[in-house]
Chain A
């Protein structure tokens, strides 16, 4: 059976520390936009931690929610792409094929989660910061869209390794960079088609909700609500 990659994010464990944010930058060759471009809203954070204030002083509360590409099964970004750059893989990933993308940005308009990012300029790394670039991940140039891939390079790497060792992938043997860094283990990644996986077990939780699930996008990121 093919894999169906999914994530569970337990909002009762998430502390808003943003280790996931920096881990993602380091893993996925995401350039920093710099002050000027950041002021224009052009930073690229494939994962962000949203925060929602509730109440007024002294009864103020905050809720944190990490938001990344939800890898929707019925992804609104896919049918609008004129070049089929945004499409669905057999493993349930919502993929972005950079060399098909011509930068219409229809997908970003269609995405209700605001998790697709356009390269307004060629990215720049001031040397030798470029020596950190991950050779397993493409460096995206001007004019194309990019977004969270669930660290597909790690998925492929683990699949190829398992194949070389003639064995099945083990649950939890690899994780996307955000999940790997997450200290309180708020994020869990795995195969929903494996009923024994931790992600399958957690997805059955009564606290499970989908972000904007009412839109019918069928996200593959599950949020477990806070208990209080």
Chain B
């Protein structure tokens, strides 16, 4: 009904193509899909209605009636998000309809990195890539590299098979804020290389070390659902939580108690709290529990971590430490979690192990079932198991890639297949990613957008948007049951794009030999079907009499899970209670010959005299790690703590600002040993005076019309320090100096004032 009055519409000149599908106009159908806006793996329902789209068929412009995605909601049956969806998830629609999405394969015409391409046919594009791959396979198969963001579900399996049979090294995955440290800590402490699932709905007390669990960390929707229940879901019983962090996050803003702690000493604070609990004779302690045995001095009662000693190191008062210990052990069911900045120091693994040990101490002391559990692995046939292993995001791997290219090592990559990873934007400058990418002789990208990395491509083979694709995802956290999300395309492709997995299959088949043999499926959905059908014999959400019915029900339901569908938050709690305490029940394999972890002072890049401030880049509430900066809804969503939109900013303590004579909104420059960025100042009482913080997300130079040339990128001044044991990027380990460089008029801070201003000025050009 909202169609334009057709009389007088310029659209009227276009021819109309015969529609491929017959839909009843005005009637919405709801199709399951999966959210790919972060790694949480939430289920979606897509509201699809008939509409008229401008398309190109065989080179001719025209109009066609087709099903169009109008709104995304959470899938009420999906165990992770139970019908709910966050702001970033809602904006997934704008990925589908983005005006800068690539519509055809592209071949480079200008110089490398110039961004000059011409559109080519799929036949031409695939032919060119195939020629490259064939030549490489006979000469130097090990010189093929595949770089992506962490791949979900069977996509990962497909790419691994392709690379292995080709003779290439394993795929490299990279995203700047990865969770490798916590995964490793949980493997050591609990035997699970995963992030934890929190049962907040039953929690009476939560102590969070830096985890932005209501905003950007782990599985935010699942955790927010539980949070609501924790606060007000049980009459007369309100759960409380304390947040330890030096810069108040959206999560910290909701805490009952917000406690700043010197960056990198969070593990010390955890052990200080453990010290108090261990001294308490009220509780029986097991000094030999697996998480505890990983910490040096635990069996002696952590003598080096008395509250007074911890106060000196962390800046948290001994009284506060004692109170936290008391609250943890005297508030019903309690839990301790860690995430975000405390892990992003050179001693991040120690911080995580210390917090894990405290968590298990609290559980054991109170003899309570753990509120932390680990989502069980889906029983896929072993060959098809996309469990929580395989190529996770790795800073070390991408650094090695860059070094091998730049140093001309043997088997340096000659052909790079790029799938949505954007290390040129997100890796620290010392990795010299732009140089490395430029030096790789041939780069082909599957991404849907030109970004700072894919602009270097020689060939672009644009993937479908997620809502146009077969999707599968096995969430590693956020549910107590096994979950394998799956969805067929919710809408037909709008542009001349092809699904990346199908392109890989096509290339593999044409390469022939062992590669073709390793990929026995004609299409990706065949591969998915082969992986999912064996789940039928496991008790779960689908009751089917044969494979066909099972497969069709998996598609209708948006996946398979090991509990009956639609039992809501209560069901989640019940399932968790039934499954018992997952954390202590972890595989009992000993941590091996590992030396017990000792606290090491966190290392920072930059001498404190020259660079007096700790620097904290943090995941933006709207733009995540910057990969969502191209979406206008998220750009215009006011940051909830600052109300800033379309902007970068630097958060400063008002005392700091006063000392440096910086007024709100003025332009400041942050300088590290690796570069400097400029952004307007925002004064915030929720940040320590010796810390400056900046949201990640802006500062793109080449990421579509809504993100390019806007704000500054804090990742561009990071030092390449890594967590000592895991090699993960220590993104909170850079020190900076700060100076005012301009007034408000030179900065470009846009705040949402909460209303509208006056009539357009006379001098404003009329539109």
Residues of A within 8 A of B (CB): 10, 12-13, 15-19, 21-23, 25-27, 32-35, 38-43, 45, 48-51, 53, 55-58, 60-62, 64, 67, 108, 114, 117-118, 120-122, 126-139, 177, 180-186, 224, 227-228
B225-242 Cβ-contact flags toward A at 8 Å (1 or 0):
101100110000010100
Contact of A19 with B90 at beta-carbon distance under 8 Å, contacts A33-B636, A134-B70 already known: yes
Task: Indicate whether B136 reaches chain A with its CB closer than 8 angstroms.
Answer: no
Partner of A108, one of B81, B86, B256, B756: B756
Q: What residues of B have a CB within 8 angstroms of the CB of A48 in the complex?
A: 638, 752, 754
A180 to B, closest residue via Cβ? B73
What's the minimum C-beta distance from B205 to chain A, rounded to whole angstroms? 13
Pair B68/A131 contact, Cβ less than 8 Å: yes
What is the bound-complex CA distance between A5 and B457, given in angstroms? 55
What is the bound-complex CA distance between A180 and B72, given in angstroms? 11
Q: Which of B186-194, B411-419, B641-649 contacts A (4 or more CB under 8 A)?
A: B641-649
Task: Name 5 interchain pairs, CB-CB below 8 A, sorted by A.
Answer: A19-B89, A51-B640, A62-B253, A121-B767, A126-B705
Partner of B757, one of A41, A53, A138: A41
Q: What residues of A have a CB within 8 angstroms of the CB of B752 in the complex?
A: 38, 43, 45, 48
What is the bound-complex CA distance between A215 and B597, given in angstroms? 61
Task: Indicate whether B54 reaches chain A with its CB closer than 8 angstroms.
Answer: yes
Pair B686/A12 contact, Cβ less than 8 Å: no
Contact of A19 with B689 at beta-carbon distance under 8 Å, contacts A38-B750, A51-B643 already known: no
Nearest 10 pairs of A and B residues by beta carbon:
A184-B228, A183-B224, A41-B757, A60-B685, A114-B755, A62-B253, A16-B640, A22-B90, A183-B84, A32-B632
Q: What residues of A have a CB within 8 angstroms of the CB of B99 in the complex?
A: 126-129
A177 to B, closest residue via Cβ? B71
User: 13 more A-B contacts (CB under 8 A) besides A32-B632, A183-B81?
Assistant: A25-B633, A26-B72, A26-B633, A27-B71, A39-B748, A41-B757, A43-B636, A57-B654, A64-B254, A130-B97, A132-B70, A134-B71, A185-B228
What's the minimum C-beta distance from A141 to chain B, rounded to whole angstroms? 12
Best-buried of B85, B90, B240, B710 by chain A (most CB within 10 Å) = B90
What is the bound-complex CA distance between A180 and B767, given in angstroms? 37
What is the bound-complex CA distance between A43 and B755, given in angstroms? 8
What is the bound-complex CA distance between A180 and B45, given in angstroms? 12
Q: Which of B165-173, B214-222, B277-285, B608-616 contacts A (4 or more CB under 8 A)?
A: B214-222
Contact of A186 with B54 at beta-carbon distance under 8 Å, contacts A12-B238, A17-B250 already known: no
Partner of A135, one of B2, B633, B753, B759: B2
What is the bound-complex CA distance between A27 and B70, given in angstroms? 8
What's the minimum C-beta distance from A64 to chain B, rounded to whole angstroms? 7
What is the bound-complex CA distance between A159 and B638, given in angstroms? 34
Pair A57/B53 contact, Cβ less than 8 Å: no
What is the bound-complex CA distance between A55 and B684, given in angstroms? 11
Pair B248/A60 contact, Cβ less than 8 Å: yes
What is the bound-complex CA distance between A58 and B379, given in angstroms? 48
Q: What residues of B have a CB within 8 angstroms of the CB of A122 in the complex?
A: 767
What is the bound-complex CA distance between A58 and B97, given in angstroms? 44
Pair B97/A129 contact, Cβ less than 8 Å: yes
What is the bound-complex CA distance between A110 and B653, given in angstroms? 37
Task: Indicate whether B258 reaches chain A with its CB closer than 8 angstroms.
Answer: yes
What is the bound-complex CA distance between A129 and B632, given in angstroms? 10
What is the bound-complex CA distance between A22 and B633, given in angstroms? 6
Partner of B686, one of A23, A57, A67: A57
Task: Indicate whether B741 reaches chain A with its CB closer than 8 angstroms.
Answer: no
What is the bound-complex CA distance between A126 and B90, given in angstroms? 19
What's the minimum C-beta distance from B755 to chain A, rounded to whole angstroms? 4
Pair B232/A18 contact, Cβ less than 8 Å: no
Q: What residues of A have a CB within 8 angstroms of the CB of B258 in the complex?
A: 58, 60-61
What is the bound-complex CA distance between A134 and B89, given in angstroms? 18
Q: What residues of A have a CB within 8 angstroms of the CB of B621 in the complex?
A: 17-18
What's the minimum C-beta distance from A202 to chain B, rounded to whole angstroms? 9
What's the minimum C-beta distance from A191 to chain B, rounded to whole angstroms? 21
What is the bound-complex CA distance between A131 and B65, given in angstroms? 11
Pair A127/B685 contact, Cβ less than 8 Å: no
Pair A186/B750 contact, Cβ less than 8 Å: no
B315 to A, closest residue via Cβ? A58
Pair B87/A129 contact, Cβ less than 8 Å: no
Best-buried of B3, B88, B89, B637 by chain A (most CB within 10 Å) = B637
Pair B636/A32 contact, Cβ less than 8 Å: yes
What is the bound-complex CA distance between A139 and B240, given in angstroms? 44
What's the minimum C-beta distance from B734 to chain A, rounded to whole angstroms? 22
What's the minimum C-beta distance from A122 to chain B, rounded to whole angstroms? 8
B52 to A, closest residue via Cβ? A131
What is the bound-complex CA distance between A117 and B755, given in angstroms? 7
Pair B2/A138 contact, Cβ less than 8 Å: yes
Task: Indicate whether B93 reaches chain A with its CB closer than 8 angstroms.
Answer: yes
Partner of B685, one of A25, A55, A137, A139: A55
B761 to A, closest residue via Cβ? A40
B621 to A, closest residue via Cβ? A18
Pair B685/A17 contact, Cβ less than 8 Å: no
B41-70 Cβ-contact flags toward A at 8 Å (1 or 0):
000000001010110000000000000111
Pair B86/A19 contact, Cβ less than 8 Å: yes
Pair B53/A128 contact, Cβ less than 8 Å: yes
Q: What residues of A have a CB within 8 angstroms of the CB of B68 in the complex?
A: 131-132
Partner of A23, one of B26, B85, B640: B85
